[in-house]
Amino acid sequence: KNEVEQSPQNLTAQEGEFITINCSYSVGISALHWLQQHPGGGIVSLFMLSSGKKKHGRLIATINIQEKHSSLHITASHPRDSAVYICAVLPTSGTYKYIFGTGTRLKVLA
Amino acid sequence: NAGVTQTPKFRVLKTGQSMTLLCAQDMNHEYMYWYRQDPGMGLRLIHYSVGEGTTAKGEVPDGYNVSRLKKKQNFLLGLESAAPSQTSVYFCASSWGEVTEAFFGQGTRLTVV
């Protein structure tokens, strides 16, 4: 079993829909990152959080440390949101080594 | 700001050839990382550095070497004798501290034939 599990693996949505991507992990963590990777492109950091909730534009990230779970929400989705979203956790073991999920591939149709 | 810049962006190597990937960052970050990304797998850490002149092995270090030059903004990833198993997309990242936001480069797509 992977230490970081994302669901769903693939997601197709219509423009305007509310989207939720989930990340569950099995280790104690210092921080969790949500990353975005566009096709053929680089990786961009969306959020880093260790508790509570963060919001940036149409994106909202939440984390529940006790339940070892985080969600990334996209409101009013748009085709330009089509990308792979990656969850990465930094374990408290202190080895600077992020553990990455395999990503959720999102496609938003116009 | 350029952020994190990787060169080259694409490369095709023959088995046994060597090459160096360059990562440069202009944010004065202490921590730098090299990852590889393969289909169906999460990014895996190859080597990392927590400061000028220091390097350490990550999860998949075999077949790679790294150096963090005195100019601490650069982090080099070397393949001494490339193998087809090293065909992958390589990402460099940097961060100011251990639990701070990481910034990624655009990636280097390497094919070893």
Over residues A77-92, the pLDDT tens digits come to 999 999 999 999 988 8
Contact criterion met (CB below 8 Å) for A48 and A41: no
Whether residue B1 is predicted with pLDDT greater than 70 in this model: the reply is no
Q: Does B31 touch chain A (CB under 8 A)?
A: yes
**Distance from the A62 Cα atom to the nearest Cα atom in chain B, whole angstroms:** 16
* Residues of chain B numbered 48-77 and touching chain A (CB < 8 Å): 48, 50, 58-59
B-chain CB neighbours of A32 within 8 Å are none
* Per-residue tokens: B78: 């070397």
Q: Which of A98, A99, A100, A102 to mutate to test the interface with B (most CBs of B within 10 A)?
A: A98
**Distance from the A36 Cα atom to the nearest Cα atom in chain B, whole angstroms:** 11
The span from the CA of A29 to the CA of B65, in Å, is 29
Contact criterion met (CB below 8 Å) for B102 and B93: yes
User: Is there a contact between A99 and B42 if contact means CB atoms under 8 Å apart?
Assistant: yes
Q: What are phi and psi of B47, to 5 degrees?
A: -145, 160
A-chain CB neighbours of B99 within 8 Å are 30-31, 50, 90
Whether residue A70 is predicted with pLDDT greater than 80 in this model: the reply is yes
Q: pLDDT tens digit string along B18-74? A: 999 999 999 999 999 999 999 888 899 999 999 888 899 998 999 999 999 876 789
A-chain CB neighbours of B41 within 8 Å are 102
The span from the CA of B91 to the CA of A46, in Å, is 17
A2, A48, A99 ranked by CB distance to B101: nearest? A48
List residues bridging with A99 in a β-sheet.
A89
Pairing mode of beta strands A52-56, A4-7: unpaired
The residue of chain B with its CA nearest to that of A31 is B99
Q: pLDDT tens digit string along B78-112? A: 999 999 999 999 999 999 887 788 899 999 999 99
A44, A86, A96 ranked by CB distance to B48: nearest? A96
Detail the DSSP E strand segments found in A1-110. Answer: 4-7, 10-14, 19-25, 29-37, 43-49, 52-56, 59-64, 69-74, 83-91, 99-100, 104-109
Contact criterion met (CB below 8 Å) for B91 and A26: no
pLDDT of the residue at A51: 92
Which residues 6+ apart lie within 8 Å of A85 measured at CB?
A6, A21, A34, A35, A36, A37, A46, A72, A103, A104, A106
Residue A85 CA neighbour count, 13 Å, CB half? 29
Mean pLDDT for chain A overall:
93
Cα separations in angstroms, A19 against A9, A50, A54, A61, B59: 13, 22, 16, 12, 33
Q: Is A110 helix (H, G, I), strand (E, B) or coil?
A: coil
**Distance from the A100 Cα atom to the nearest Cα atom in chain B, whole angstroms:** 5
